[in-house]
Structure 1
């Protein structure tokens, strides 16, 4: 079993003064890990150690989550992207690798498009370009997640994240199902940020070599978005994991971790 690398906690300041908690582990080239909608840094708990042979990992509690500030405003993927830059500036990180999943992948698109000189390599997982060009989840998924019964909604989300076969041998607890400590205004703020994301026009500005990963059975973010992203981002390669759902990075941990590590180790263009 891998040992747990020591973690240090830092607090950066966003442009609007919001406190941004960030967690740093390991040594080596910096790798920033961005979590999904309404989740804090614990999203990465199961897989983070896989990158510490070569990288120092940096996570953050996105505004509204964890021990970061929870303002009334500033909930958009563009704003979240500038928060990522504020964290990197605070830590003195000029250039880094970036791995964003789900809404974190949407945020990563803006970071890479707006600040191309600061991204060495980019990994996008279970995400989409957003806007009218994206392939959206179907109405049945939205209804399942919007159920009034919290237990039923939780069960529906669990089914969207993981296959039944994987859940049978991994009973949890699962750290990808949302931050329960979010205040009432922050959770819908995250939902609106994700729903209103549209980076289609700026994706061609991404200059970093990019790896796009997805689960074949992902109903939360349909896998048809992989090809859409790949057509817009220069220097993009893709991989789809058979039978995996939204949280492919956990369910296919060994293969996904190896693919990402190999990609990050390649000589930059």
Structure 2
């Protein structure tokens, strides 16, 4: 798998699949490129997909330095695009990846063709934060119980039960299991400090804002807030979906995004 070097010299691993126009897929906080494993083939059938291991995850380097921020992650993505010889690309960012995509589109409009912001937020100062009940549940001392809470924030109980009954117990959205503690802390801090409220008005790319209708991990109300700031953005909620709408409701979400990307 190829790798690029960030402005500070950090090695960043990425993967290219498919053919056609480039499409960058940006994953959530504390997750590697494997976040996209369940659906990447559907996008690679129509596009050259670019998936990235954030610094601190996957096969990228894991510096224990103050170099983690959503705007810094956007610079990392640019380094990957430069290494791959890609000048301009469609960008689809989900969760923290959507926060990174906001900076990428606002600061580098010449590099973003069409933009999809999924299950994301403009940042704490102006966004809607998850409630205290959710925060307490995620912070509990029992790792297994906290993992279960996260799982149920990502997916509906019926979908979880069906997968578990079929013996499918691996979920790619619950965090990179090989990620060191210092990188987890720095990812959490980077996402928590995100504030692109003023930058959203500078986004020039046609933008689709997608969100699960029942998302309490990153509350659904953030979709309207973002769309209200990005010029000519449109919003699509996925009814009944939680945070990982793009996986559980892929039969709805993937055609929706592909249709938007193909619309000229």
Is structure 2 residue 27 aligned with structure 1 residue 30?
A: no
Question: 2:10 maps to what in 1?
Answer: 18
DSSP-derived class of the 1:228 partner: helix
Which of 124, 132, 147 is the equivalent residue of 2:125? 132
Question: 2:193 maps to what in 1?
Answer: 196
| Deviates most, 14-23 or 170-179 | 170-179
Note if contact 1:131-1:199 (Cα within 8 Å) is conserved in structure 2.
no
Question: 2:73 maps to what in 1?
Answer: 80
Is structure 2 residue 204 aligned with structure 1 residue 231?
A: no
DSSP-derived class of the 2:50 partner: strand
C-alpha distance after superposition, 1:161-200 (max 9, x if no partner): 0001111222331100000111121001000011100000
Q: After superposition, where does 1:105-124 map in structure 2 within 5 Å?
A: 105-124=98-117
Aligned-partner Cα distance in 1 for 2:124–2:148 = 28
DSSP-derived class of the 1:22 partner: strand
Is structure 2 residue 254 aligned with structure 1 residue 257?
A: yes
Is structure 2 residue 210 aligned with structure 1 residue 213?
A: yes
Report the Cα offset of residue 46 of structure 1: 0.4
Aligned-partner Cα distance in 1 for 2:116–2:163 = 26
Report the Cα offset of residue 148 of structure 1: 1.0
Report the Cα offset of residue 52 of structure 1: 2.1
Aligned-partner Cα distance in 1 for 2:145–2:104 = 35
Question: 2:155 maps to what in 1?
Answer: 162
With the length of structure 1 as denominator, give the TM-score of the two structures.
Answer: 0.95
Aligned-partner Cα distance in 2 for 1:46–1:53 = 14
Which of 160, 179, 183 is the equivalent residue of 1:182? 179
Aligned-partner Cα distance in 1 for 2:64–2:214 = 35
Which of 139, 142, 145 is the equivalent residue of 2:135? 142
Report the Cα offset of residue 131 of structure 1: 3.0
Is structure 2 residue 196 aligned with structure 1 residue 173?
A: no
Aligned-partner Cα distance in 2 for 1:182–1:85 = 23
| Equivalent residue pairs, number | 259
DSSP-derived class of the 2:176 partner: coil
Which of 61, 64, 67 is the equivalent residue of 1:69? 61
Q: CA RMSD in A?
A: 0.7
User: Where do 5+ consecutive residues of structure 2 fail to align?
Assistant: none
Report the Cα offset of residue 251 of structure 1: 1.2
DSSP-derived class of the 1:12 partner: strand
DSSP-derived class of the 1:225 partner: helix
Aligned-partner Cα distance in 2 for 1:111–1:131 = 19
Is structure 2 residue 72 aligned with structure 1 residue 89?
A: no
Report the Cα offset of residue 147 of structure 1: 1.0
Which of 144, 147, 151 is the equivalent residue of 1:151? 144
Runs of 4 or more above 3 Å deviation: none
Note if contact 1:108-1:124 (Cα within 8 Å) is conserved in structure 2.
yes
